[in-house]
Amino acid sequence: MKIADLRQEYMRAGLAEADALPDALLQFERWFKDALAADLPLANAMTLATVSAAGAPDARIVLLKGVEDGSFVFYTNYESRKGRQLAAAPQACLVFFWAPLERQVRIEGRVEKVPATDSDAYFAGRPLGARLSAHASAQSAVVSGREILESAVKAEKEKHGDNPPRPVHWGGYRVVPARIEFWQGRENRLHDRLLYTSVQGAWRIERLAP
C-alpha cells in the first residue's frame, strides 16, 4: 500500500450557516460535547503551534484544561521551549482533530498567563506524581538518561513530601481567540469551513472554500 493511495470519504454530517451558533465559543462547546459523547480518546488533546525567535514554526500536543472567560486554557512549564517562544511572541494556534466525527477546529489568538491563583488551584488538584515531576523536570533541557529524572523526582519527594507547592516556573496560559474555524469533512472533498472572526466584541461568520 502506497501512502498516496490512502483515502477516506467524509460522509457523516455537514455544517450549514443556519445550523451554526452565532457565538464561536458556544459552537466549540457544542462540538466538544459531541466529542465527549462519542467517547473519543483524549478529546481535549490539541496541537499548540508557536513560532521560534528565528520565525520557524514549532508544534506539539498539549491538553485543554478549560474554556474560561472566552479563552482556551492549558498548563505547562514556563521555561520550556514553548514557554520561551510564547514569552518572545505571545501568539499561538490551536488545532483539535476529532477524526471519528470528521471534524477539525482551528483557533488563533494572543496568549497570556492565567492569574497565579488559578495556576495554584489547578496545580493543587494534580496527582502527586505530576506535581513532583513539575519540580524535577527542567522541561526541554537535555538529560543524560532517565535515571537522572527518576532521581530528581525522588529528591523532590523527600524534600516536599505529599504536598509540593507549585513551582514558580510552572503555570497556565490562555489563548484569547481572534479567529476560530470549524471544519466538517464532506463528500468529494467539498468540506464545510465556517470561520468566526472576532470584530468589536461580536463574531462575524464567513464560509471558506475547502
Q: Which residues are catalytic?
A: 189
Instruction: Copy the grid coordinates of residue 175.
Output: 489563548
Cα 181 from Cα 158, distance rounded (Å) = 47
Contact 104, 98 (CB under 8 A): yes
Contact 35, 43 (CB under 8 A): yes
Output the CA torsion sign for 159, 162, 168, 169.
positive
Q: Which helix (H) or strand (E) holds 72?
A: strand 71-77
Round to the nearest angstrom and report the end-to-end CA distance of the chain. 27
63 DSSP β-pair partners: 45
Contact 173, 119 (CB under 8 A): no
